[in-house]
Amino acid sequence: MDYSPHQYQDFATDFIVKNPVAAIFLDCGLGKTVITLTAIEELLHDSFEVSRVLIIAPLRVARDTWPTEIQKWSHLSNLTYAVAVGSTAKRIAALRQKAEITIINRENVDWLVSHNTFDFDMVVIDELSSFKSRQARRFKALMRVRPMVKRIVGLTGTPSSNGLMDLWAEFRLLDMGKRLGRFIGHYRDEFFLPDRRNQQIVFSYKPKVGAEEEIYRRISDVTISMKSADYLKLPPLVVSTKTVAMTAKERRAYDSLKKDLVVSVGDTEIDAVSAAALSNKLLQMAGGAVYDGEGTAHDIHAKKLDALEDLVESANGRPVLVAYWFKHEAERIKERLKVREIKTSQDIADWNAGKIPVALIHPASAGHGLNLQAGGSILIWFSLTWSLELYQQTNARLYRQGQKDTVSIIHIITEGTIDEDVMKALERKDKTQTALIDAVKANMGGNQK
C-alpha cells in the first residue's frame, strides 16, 4: 500500500529524524508506528546515521502490530526485521538474523541486555510510560546500555497517567538526566511537596506552585504532542454509565468489609490486610464476587452480569467488546454468555472480520497498540482499572482512525461502591494528562491534511 502521510505525520517523522532524543506523545489512532518506521527507513537508508534499530513494545504489539505495519506500506519494503518474542530459542534465532530492525517485547529487555551482545545504535520504546518505574528490571537494564545508543525515541499517548512524578524515569532514560535531573530525589525536592504522610513516612507528593509549567518547559525542546481530535475526523463518541444496585443483604456484606476489613461469606471469612488489599476486595465485591485467602472466588451478587446480558441483547447482534479486570469476572461472564477472549493473533483477525459477537479483553494485555476498530464499535467496561493509561488505551482500541461507526463506551457501575471512586479518580488524572499534552503540543503552522 502506498503511504500518503498527513502533514502532522510528516512533521512527526521529521522531528524524529532531526532529534537524536525524541519524545513523541501521540494520541491513539494518529499512526505513531508508520511515522516512526518512516523515520527509521530514512535514517537507515538515506542518511545512514544508524545501522541497527531495537524496537521495544508490549508483547502483542511487538508480535503483531509492528511487523504488520512494515509489511503493509510499500515504502518500507526494503526494511529487514526480526521479531524476538517467544521461547529463548526463538529469540536467539531472531537476534542471529542481524536484521536492521529487531522487535522485542519489554519483558525480555533484561534478558537481551544481560545475556547478549548489545549492538543497537537506535532504540524505539513503544509505550514509554511502561518505563516509568526506576526500580523495574527493564528500566535498569536499558539504562546500562543507554550510553551506547546514539538515537532514542519514546512513544506514548499517556506520558503521565499517574501524575508528573512518572516523567522523571521516562526522561532519565531518554536524555540521561539532562532535563529533569539524574536523581529522583533532586527532581522530587525541586518540584514537589509532601502531600499525604504519617509522621516521617510520605505516601504521596503534590507539585509545587509553577512546577508543571517549568517541567513542561524543560522537556519541550525534545517533545511533541498531538491529540487525535486536532488532526483526525473521528466518529461520534457516546460515553454512558449503566448503574446497578446491590440488595440490602449484599450491601451489608460490602459495608462490613469496608468498615471492619473482614466479612463472612457463607462459611468463609474474607479479610483485607492492607489498604491496597481492601481496595482490591471492594472492587471484586462491586463486580459480584470476591477471592478468599486461598484464591477461591465466592459469589456476592449477579447484578453486573444481568446488566451485561441486557446490554449485549440491546446491541441487536452488533459485536460487543467487554473489558474485565479480575479473572473470576471472565469466568463468570463465560458461564453466562457465549464469549471469546482476545489473546492470539487469530483472535484479533477473527474479531476484525466480524466473526466474534462478544469478545473479552483484559486491559493489561490488550490495552496497547491493537487495532480492533474494524470489528465493532461498542465497548462495555464490566469493571474498571485505576490506571488511566490502560483505561484510555483500551478505549482507543475502538475509538481510533478507521472506525466508521459511532463508538459507544458503557461503564457498568455498582451504586455506592468503590466503582464510583475509580471513575472520579480517572477523571482527575485526566486533567494532569491533558495539561501535559497541551503544554507540549506541536505547532506546525499551516493547515493539516
pLDDT at residue 447 in the model: 40
Q: Which residue has the higher pLDDT, 259 or 106?
A: 106
pLDDT at residue 333 in the model: 96
Q: State how far the Cα of 13 lies from the Cα of 16, in Å rounded to an integer.
A: 5
pLDDT at residue 142 in the model: 96
Tracing cell 449477579 back to the chain, one arrives at 302
pLDDT at residue 190 in the model: 93
Q: State how far the Cα of 415 lies from the Cα of 213, in Å rounded to an integer.
A: 38
Q: State how far the Cα of 396 lies from the Cα of 140, in Å rounded to an integer.
A: 30
- Band of residue 448 on the pLDDT scale cut at 50, 70, 90: very low
Q: Which residue has the higher pLDDT, 314 or 51?
A: 51
- Band of residue 449 on the pLDDT scale cut at 50, 70, 90: very low
Residues with Cβ within 8 Å of 65's Cβ and at least 6 positions away in sequence, in order, are: 33, 57, 369, 370, 371
Query: Average pLDDT of 367-379?
Result: 80
**Does residue 159 have a pLDDT over 80?**
no
Q: Which residue has the higher pLDDT, 344 or 100?
A: 100
pLDDT at residue 229 in the model: 67
Query: Average pLDDT of 357-377?
Result: 83
Residues 278, 280, 283: CA angle, nearest 5 degrees: 105
**Does residue 101 have a pLDDT over 50?**
yes
pLDDT at residue 440 in the model: 65
Q: Which residue has the higher pLDDT, 373 or 271?
A: 373
Query: Average pLDDT of 290-319?
Result: 89
pLDDT at residue 399 in the model: 86
Q: Which residue has the higher pLDDT, 181 or 30?
A: 181
Query: Which H or E run includes 356?
Result: none
pLDDT at residue 112 in the model: 96
Ranking 84-88, 210-214, 272-276 by mean pLDDT, the lowest is 272-276
Query: Average pLDDT of 117-126?
Result: 95
pLDDT at residue 444 in the model: 62
Q: Provide the pairing of β-strand 205-207 with 192-194.
A: antiparallel
Residues 15, 19, 24: CA angle, nearest 5 degrees: 55
In 3D, which of 412, 417, 407 has the Cα closest to residue 234? 407
CATH for the 7-232 domain, from 3.40.50.10810, 1.10.1240.10, 3.40.50.2000, 3.30.70.380: 3.40.50.10810
Query: Average pLDDT of 306-322?
Result: 89
Domain with CATH 3.40.50.300 in the chain: 233-245+302-415
Residue-wise pLDDT for 17-67, tens only, equals: 999 999 998 876 788 899 999 999 999 999 999 999 999 998 878 988 899
Residue-wise pLDDT for 408-427, tens only, equals: 999 999 999 999 988 988 88
Which residues are 335's β-sheet partners?
none
Domain with CATH 3.40.50.10810 in the chain: 7-232
In single-letter form, the type of residue at position 425 comes to A
Residues with Cβ within 8 Å of 15's Cβ and at least 6 positions away in sequence, in order, are: 22, 24, 224, 442
In 3D, which of 322, 323, 319, 313 has the Cα closest to residue 375? 319
pLDDT at residue 197 in the model: 74
Q: State how far the Cα of 182 lies from the Cα of 323, in Å rounded to an integer.
A: 38
What is the pTM (predicted TM-score) of this model?
0.66
| Highest mean pLDDT of the ranges 99-108, 161-170, 315-324, 382-391 | 99-108
- Band of residue 75 on the pLDDT scale cut at 50, 70, 90: very high
In single-letter form, the type of residue at position 180 comes to L
Q: Count CB-CB contacts under 10 A for residue 88.
A: 10
- Band of residue 122 on the pLDDT scale cut at 50, 70, 90: very high
Q: State how far the Cα of 58 lies from the Cα of 127, in Å rounded to an integer.
A: 8
pLDDT at residue 367 in the model: 52
Q: What percent of the chain has pLDDT over 90?
A: 53
Residues with Cβ within 8 Å of 289's Cβ and at least 6 positions away in sequence, in order, are: 297, 298, 299, 300, 326, 328, 329, 332
CATH for the stretch 233-245+302-415: 3.40.50.300
Query: Average pLDDT of 433-446?
Result: 65
Query: Average pLDDT of 305-325?
Result: 90
Provide the 8-state DSSP code for 255: H
The C-alpha cell that represents 400 in the structure block: 481510533
pLDDT at residue 170 in the model: 94
Query: Average pLDDT of 148-170?
Result: 86
Residue-wise pLDDT for 3-14, tens only, equals: 988 888 999 999
Q: Which residue has the higher pLDDT, 263 or 19?
A: 19
Query: Average pLDDT of 123-145?
Result: 93
Q: State how far the Cα of 236 lies from the Cα of 239, in Å rounded to an integer.
A: 10
